[in-house]
Homo-oligomer: A and B are copies of this chain.
Amino acid sequence: MRSRSLPILDFVRIAGKENVLTSPEERCCYSYDASKLKALPDCVVLPGTAEEVAALVKLANRDHFSVFPRGAGSGMVGASIPVGGGLVISLNRLNRILEVDSDNMTAVVEPGVVTGDFQKRVLQHGLFYPPDPASLPFSTLGGNVAMCAGGPRAVKYGVTRDYVLGLEVVLPTGNLIRTGTRTMKGVVGYDLTRLLVGSEGTLGIFTKIILRLLPAPEGVRTLVAIFPRIDDAARAVCTIIRNRIIPSTLELLDQATLQAVENYLHMGLPIKCEALLLIEVDGRDKLLDDDVGRIETICREAEASETEIAATPSDRERLWQARRAISPALGQIRPGKINEDVTVPRTQIPALIRAIRSLAEKYRLVIVCFGHAGDGNIHTNIMLDRKDRDELSRAEQAVHELFRTVLDLGGTLSGEHGIGITKSPFLQWEVGAEGFEAMWKIKHALDPLNILNPGKMFVSNRAFFRG
């Protein structure tokens, strides 16, 4: 579709020879993400400044080639895959923390800063950047902002969107603009900042990000509660929050997950029980013991069969062990999985889990559910072997039914992974034809040549699991 003869000499002039990658081996490293989808770019450039990014995008407008911005490539939905070839712009060299302002509790970063590194850095100032996607040891802030990353702490602290105050961004035309403010308040013109957060690299390439920070919590307490019935676990979640305690973590493991982890670790997990809740509270030390005690009482009153509060850091590690073992444990069930991060109002979690159990039975699939019970974001893992075309076909049918159920329950098809390629066939299911049209009009207005990250979000006929 696009011209494959990219202006490599111009790239070299802009970014320097050493930052222009053209060999198949090098390009291969920028061809995939965590979705395991793949497409080889024609060239990869690693610019060192915002002006270089802008110049590259201007070239794309001149010569009509596609541009794919890329952070760490840890996305789950193929949003950074260079579909159809073109230029990958890797933001990895724009990796400086430019400013940490303790008095105003803000920071200015470049997009290539690794989220976990940033969290450690601001903690040295007694500050706290809450968003905690599981990928945080390697994913970048630019990628987190592009996808509006979430994480377990969202129940208390919100998601990436809630911490982005402003951006410096290269628009699809190559114009470099600044959006937003350095302050909590700011109502000057349209909120381009929040439009760009979660736009998945289709509306702009961030070159600077202004982030809001919080004071670091003084301490944390951890508790595990086992529930014979999952409805009781869900009820406990609501009761905790109604009692004005908002835990920083409220993770749920369903029975299938407990079974998988027990098979893997043999740690004596209660595999006859329907749910395990891993709960953490953070904040002011003075409240924590009281809060965790109240949570224990609430869980007991909601028919938890067992509860344990971590008394020491090593106890805490042990309580987290089952949660952390999920990923490798699932690898033992089947070689592949489809991981849908559906989200429902938290009171609907039992209905969602019941529906998923029915789907597992109906389609003869192993489906494992765990995730963030506090905000209703349940990671639904359909375990499969992609080489088994029959199993794959049943899984696809189950996903379709799952999505219908989630929308019926007032939920959303993606809490934190986004649309990218894998969920693009379903975008209209949730936003409707007219919502889709409004989104596409915005895309087309800002990117009339469809330069930036094409083949995503608005493309609806892709064979989405088959990568």
Task: Please give, as numbers and ranges, the residues of chain B lying within 8 Å of A410 by CB-CB distance.
Answer: 182
Interface: A418 (CB within 8 A): yes
Question: What sequence of 0s and 1s flags, for each residue 415-434 of chain A, a beta carbon within 8 Å of any chain B beta carbon?
Answer: 11111000100010011101
In Å, the complex CA distance between A117 and B188 comes to 28
Task: Please give, as numbers and ranges, the residues of chain B lying within 8 Å of A268 by CB-CB distance.
Answer: none
Contact (Cβ within 8 A) A215 B183: no
Q: Which of A10-18, A56-64, A170-178, A354-362 is the contact stretch? A: A170-178
Contact (Cβ within 8 A) B438 A183: no
Interface: A209 (CB within 8 A): no
Known A215-B244, A215-B246; judge A185-B345 contact (CB<8 A).
no
Known A103-B238, A187-B415, A241-B215; judge A434-B154 contact (CB<8 A).
no
In Å, the complex CA distance between A280 and B228 comes to 44
Contact (Cβ within 8 A) A101 B457: no
In Å, the complex CA distance between A406 and B63 comes to 41
In Å, the complex CA distance between A105 and B345 comes to 9
Task: Please give, as numbers and ranges, the residues of chain B lying within 8 Å of A122 by CB-CB distance.
Answer: none
Contact (Cβ within 8 A) B438 A126: no
Give the most central of A147, A159, A171, A183: most B CB within 10 Å.
A183
Contact (Cβ within 8 A) B104 A189: no
Question: What sequence of 0s and 1s flags, for each residue 237-278 of chain A, a beta carbon within 8 Å of any chain B beta carbon?
Answer: 010011110100000000000000000000000000000000
Known A187-B418, A188-B413, A191-B161; judge A444-B442 contact (CB<8 A).
no
Task: Please give, as numbers and ranges, the residues of chain B lying within 8 Å of A178 by CB-CB distance.
Answer: 431-432, 435
Interface: A346 (CB within 8 A): yes
Task: Please give, as numbers and ranges, the residues of chain B lying within 8 Å of A427 by CB-CB distance.
Answer: 188-189
In Å, the complex CA distance between A179 and B195 comes to 13
Q: Which of B184, B376, B412 contacts A375 (CB 8 A)?
A: B184
Interface: A150 (CB within 8 A): yes
Interface: A34 (CB within 8 A): no
In Å, the complex CA distance between A101 and B343 comes to 17
Task: Please give, as numbers and ranges, the residues of chain B lying within 8 Å of A243 by CB-CB distance.
Answer: 215
Contact (Cβ within 8 A) B189 A430: yes
Interface: A198 (CB within 8 A): yes
Question: What sequence of 0s and 1s flags, for each residue 434-447 of chain A, a beta carbon within 8 Å of any chain B beta carbon?
Answer: 11111101111110
Contact (Cβ within 8 A) B179 A412: no
Give the most central of A178, A179, A435: most B CB within 10 Å.
A435
Interface: A390 (CB within 8 A): no
In Å, the complex CA distance between A104 and B244 comes to 13
Contact (Cβ within 8 A) A436 B182: no
In Å, the complex CA distance between A419 and B190 comes to 10
Contact (Cβ within 8 A) A188 B446: no
Interface residues of A in 154-205 (CB under 8 A from B): 154-155, 158-159, 161-162, 171, 175-179, 181-192, 194-195, 197-199, 203
Min CB gap A162→B, angstroms:
7
Question: What sequence of 0s and 1s flags, for each residue 345-387 of chain A, a beta carbon within 8 Å of any chain B beta carbon?
Answer: 1110000000000000000000000001001110000000000
With both beta carbons as reference points, the residue of chain B lying nearest to A284 in the complex is identified as B287
Contact (Cβ within 8 A) B414 A187: yes
Interface: A305 (CB within 8 A): no
Contact (Cβ within 8 A) B191 A432: no
Contact (Cβ within 8 A) B287 A189: no
Min CB gap A96→B, angstroms:
19
In Å, the complex CA distance between A114 and B104 comes to 33
Min CB gap A175→B, angstroms:
4
Contact (Cβ within 8 A) A192 B446: no
Q: A187-B419, A189-B430, A215-B243 are in contact. List 19 more A-B contacts (CB 8 A).
A: A103-B238, A104-B238, A104-B346, A148-B191, A159-B184, A177-B435, A178-B431, A179-B435, A181-B411, A183-B343, A183-B412, A186-B415, A188-B427, A189-B427, A189-B435, A190-B439, A191-B194, A195-B442, A284-B287
24 A-B contacts (beta carbon < 8 Å): A103-B347, A104-B238, A105-B241, A126-B242, A154-B184, A171-B438, A179-B431, A181-B412, A182-B411, A183-B375, A183-B377, A185-B415, A187-B414, A187-B415, A188-B412, A188-B427, A188-B430, A189-B457, A190-B199, A190-B442, A192-B439, A195-B442, A215-B243, A442-B442
